[in-house]
Amino acid sequence: MAVDGPDIGRALDQGVSARLENAGGYQVVLDHLGDAGSRQLIATPALVCDFAVLMENIERMATVAALGGVSLRPHLKSHKSAFIARRQLDAGAVGLSFAKLAEAEAVVERLAADGDPSSLSVLLTSPIVGISATTRAAALARRCELMIVVDHVGGVDEVAAVLDEATSITVLCDVDVGQGRTGVTGPREALAVVARIVQCEGLEFGGVQGYGGHLQHLVGRDERRAATVAAMNRLRVVVDELEDHGHEVGLRTGGGTGTTSIDIELGLLNELQPGSYVFMDREYRDALRDDPEGRFGRSLSLATSVVSANHTGFVTVDAGLKSMATDAGAPTVIGLESQCEYRFFGDEHGLITNPSGPPFERGDRLHLLPAHCDPTVDRYDDIWLVEGDVVIGVIDVVARGCSQ
Ligand SMILES: Cc1ncc(COP(=O)(O)O)c(C=O)c1O
């Protein structure tokens, strides 16, 4: 059957009401907010965050940055939450980093509820392309202080073309420090990009971005440090070339959770953009172990329930492939890491081997440490905040799915 305009309208209405009905189901928990044992009422699978650990992580990173003499611009791609962003700003962050325009639009809109966001400094860390994106960037630049990155003269021209007299955007040159994902590949290319930026009305050259995604999870601090030195040397060559040609490179931004203290020690970056430190995940725990960069607490877990326990040796839980990102492998069972193993058991289910003592029973709740927090968080509308077994609140993953 052809779907005409009004039908599309009804379909949208149904989608919205389904979401609201779902939210209505939360009432059971919300009625018991602050009550002992309320954590057991959360429908699973669900993301649960230990609020005290989250706040400690936020404070700790703010202190690390302040003591290291660098600015902190946390990356929102990990939590996608305006609530957590507010806490990071309150703790001293100079602004926020976003991977995608839509994430920034959603969070800026939500933060506007606190007051005028015009002095909020927003960095978009991925290059944008095409008129749709540049027009949206110009609109965002009228709401907040926007910085974008470019890695090609074509990108400079595209954004300059949509600016009116009243709009200005600060532009950073994105430099490839060895990952090969985005960024100019060398000093000559950087010079061409920056020369074009300074020619364009409405654009201001702000500095460089050099983010090494390939460095963050390297196992072993010596290996990670050596690779970071090589990456920062690539950035230094570009900075020197630009400054030799009279371009002041005010901002040198980059870095992630895995390289924080190495970046501070090397001294080239004057602004860091870590994201995962707020939650930490299995991948980071395995990579960083007791290294200084790893001294953040695990605040995020994935609550799952045993839905079937009819076999010897294992039970079936309600968190499967659809409940978490799988790029970094399986989660671990928190508190039972050496005794129990989680295995994927289809779209909707997981298998967890029984511990050596009494086996799990139907209805038991277990807590998983997600292997990779960012794409796991993106699968949930909400994160429950807890203190022990007490639910103290629920926050909205406002930029969930904002991938454009
Ligand atoms: C450009 C950029 N900056 C910062 C980060 C944050 O890194 P992490 O989550 O490892 O702290 C990322 C993560 O992918 C990123 O892509």
Helix axes 131-141, 153-161, angle to 10 degrees: 60
List, for residues 154-203, the tens digit of each pLDDT value: 999 999 999 999 899 999 999 999 999 999 999 999 999 999 999 999 99
List, for residues 27-52, the tens digit of each pLDDT value: 788 888 899 999 999 999 999 999 99
- Ligand 1 atom nearest the C-alpha of 211 is 1
- Ligand 1 atom nearest the C-alpha of 277 is 11
CA 217 – CA 93 distance, rounded (Å): 24
pLDDT band at 6 (very low <50, low <70, confident <90, very high): very low
Pick from 97, 211, 253 the residue to mutate for probing ligand 1's pocket: most ligand atoms within 8 Å of its CB: 211
List, for residues 275-312, the tens digit of each pLDDT value: 999 999 999 999 999 999 999 999 999 999 999 999 99
CATH of domain 52-278: 3.20.20.10
What percentage of the chain exceeds 90 in pLDDT?
89
Mean pLDDT of 57-70: 98
Nearest to residue 332, comparing CAs of 352, 361, 312, 347? 352
pLDDT exceeds 80 at position 14: no
* Ligand 1 mean position, distance from CA 152 (Å): 21
> Three-state DSSP class for 288?
helix
Residue whose Cα lies nearest atom 3 of ligand 1: it is: 273
CA 348 – CA 392 distance, rounded (Å): 28
Give the containing element (helix H, strand E) for 322: none
Nearest 5°: the CA angle 383, 293, 99 is 50
* Mean pLDDT computed over every residue of the chain: 94
Please name the residues in contact with 67: beta carbons below 8 A apart, sequence gap of 6 or more. none
Mean pLDDT of 222-238: 98
Please name the residues in contact with 359: beta carbons below 8 A apart, sequence gap of 6 or more. 309, 312, 315
Q: What is the pLDDT of residue 1?
A: 33
Q: What is the pLDDT of residue 27?
A: 79
CA 211 – CA 100 distance, rounded (Å): 15
Residue whose Cα lies nearest atom 14 of ligand 1: it is: 213
Task: Name the E strands within 294-354.
Answer: 300-308, 314-317, 332-333, 342-344, 350-353
**Taken in order 193, 198, 200, 203, is the CA torsion positive or negative?**
positive
| Ligand 1 pocket by Cβ (under 6 Å) | 75, 77-78, 97, 99, 125, 211, 213, 216, 256-258, 273-276
Mean pLDDT of 106-113: 94
pLDDT band at 19 (very low <50, low <70, confident <90, very high): low
Task: Name the E strands within 100-168.
Answer: 121-124, 145-150
**Cis (ω within 30 of 0) for the bond into 331?**
no
Structure tokens given for 218? 């390297």
* Ligand 1 mean position, distance from CA 15 (Å): 32
Pick from 76, 96, 100, 273 the residue to mutate for probing ligand 1's pocket: most ligand atoms within 8 Å of its CB: 273
Eight-state DSSP code of residue 144: S
What percentage of the chain exceeds 70 in pLDDT?
94
List, for residues 326-373, the tens digit of each pLDDT value: 999 999 999 999 999 999 999 999 999 999 999 999 999 999 999 999
* Ligand 1 mean position, distance from CA 275 (Å): 6
pTM for the complete prediction? 0.94
Question: How many Cα atoms occupy the beta-carbon half-sphere of 253 within 13 Å?
Answer: 30
- Contacts of 179-186 with CB under 8 Å at 24 or more apart are 179/211, 179/212, 179/213, 179/214, 181/213, 182/126, 182/127, 182/149, 182/151, 183/151, 183/209, 183/210, 184/151, 184/152, 184/238, 186/237, 186/238
- Ligand 1 atom nearest the C-alpha of 274 is 11
